Amino acid sequence: MSLFASLTDAAYALARPLVHATDGEAAHNLTLAALQPMPRARHALTSPVLATELAGLTFPNPVGLAPGFDKDARVAHAMPHFGFGFVEVGTLTPLSQDGNPRPRLFRLVEDRAIINRMGFNNGGQAAAAERITCLRRHGLPVPLGINIGANKDSADRIADYASGTAAMAPLADYLTVNISSPNTPGLRALQDKGALEALLDGVAAAQPVGAAKPVFLKVAPDLEPADIDDIVAVALDKGLAAVIVSNTTITRPALTSRHAAEAGGLSGAPLAELALQRVRDFRAASGGTLPLIAAGGIASASQAWARIRAGASLVQIYSAMVYEGPGLAGRIARGLETLAVRDGFARVSDAVGAGD
């Protein structure tokens, strides 16, 4: 981890009581405001052990920033400073939308968790495209993913994903099709086999001619075995580059926070075991032929290592930073390097699917 990230973590530890006394969404917006003036990162945390290849892209290290932190692509330029090996912005919808009424973001401190019902609040793809174009002009030392979704009041959600693909694919290293947020009514129905086939056909048709970008699909953890089998079959048939396992959960394991009954998607520590099991399930269903990216409840190198050995090529974090500080990505990356060497792997990527 860089000296910069270490100093930032130390400052965050001192400020955490004040930050946690502030409304969660307000604190998040203050964080973004503090990061925006930072200089553009020119280097990435990497090593021969950490560098990972997926979908024709080189990831300096396998620890990425999950979408939701930087919805509008305002601070992607700064995130490699903290050790991230890739950054995913969004979710971005074709038109700007306010999202659900506030309050809509809750810290469950006792459970080291978050519940959100944000509802794809964002400024729209056109505004983000201007910022990403500028970012591309100056360069970014890590791959940039753009996560696309449908507007809440859209009359044709498949058309929203197609237009999002056309608008954002030229600016992205990869696209993520997000059909697993629980906070847009009916969105998860696009995970059904027939709807998913139609959706991915629409996305494929909207790709830039001769310059198609890898497409990742983000799925929910709240799936039955038959659902997983169907998604895997469609993903393989349509040539998806990877599946991201998983988004937030609508289930409620044992929680102790006073916010436990809030509606929305649960993320953070209580999601960890469910999300790990879903990686195993998708690995088994595909026989290891479908690349996977793990998200949900990852807060340490050992947890990230378990996801990789279960079958994930990359991992993503977000909620854990609220409790562990902004230097978490760098700590996880360096920890993965140590664990790979300890377990006899020349590269972290050699351990993908090697078992727990």
Using CA atoms, how far apart are residues 82 and 10, in angstroms rounded to an integer?
Answer: 13
pLDDT at residue 183, as a whole number: 77
When pLDDT is cut at 50, 70 and 90, the band that residue 127 belongs to is: very high
Domain segments of the chain: what residues?
3-351
pLDDT at 342: 97
The answer to whether residues 351 and 302 touch, using CB atoms and an 8 Å cutoff, is no
pLDDT of 20 above 70? no
Global pTM?
A: 0.95
Span 223-239, mean pLDDT? 95
The answer on pLDDT for 138 being more than 80 is yes
Arithmetic mean of pLDDT, 269-296: 97
Higher pLDDT, 24 or 342: 342
State percent of the chain over pLDDT 70. Answer: 94
Share of the chain above pLDDT 90, in %: 88
Exactly one of 154, 163, 180, 181 is catalytic; name it.
181
Judged against a pLDDT cut of 90, whether residue 182 lies above it is answered with no
**For residue 294, which of 339, 242, 250, 252 has the smallest C-alpha distance?**
242
Torsions phi, psi for 303 (to 5 deg)? -70, -40
For helices 272-286 and 225-237, the axis angle rounded to 10 degrees is 50
For residues 24 and 235, the model is more confident at 235
Q: Is the pLDDT of residue 16 over 80?
A: no
pLDDT for residue 21: 62
CATH number of 3-351: 3.20.20.70
What are the start-end ranges of the H helices in the chain?
3-20, 24-35, 125-138, 157-168, 193-206, 225-237, 272-286, 301-310, 319-324, 328-342
Instruction: Please confirm, yes or no, whether 267 is among the known catalytic residues.
Output: no
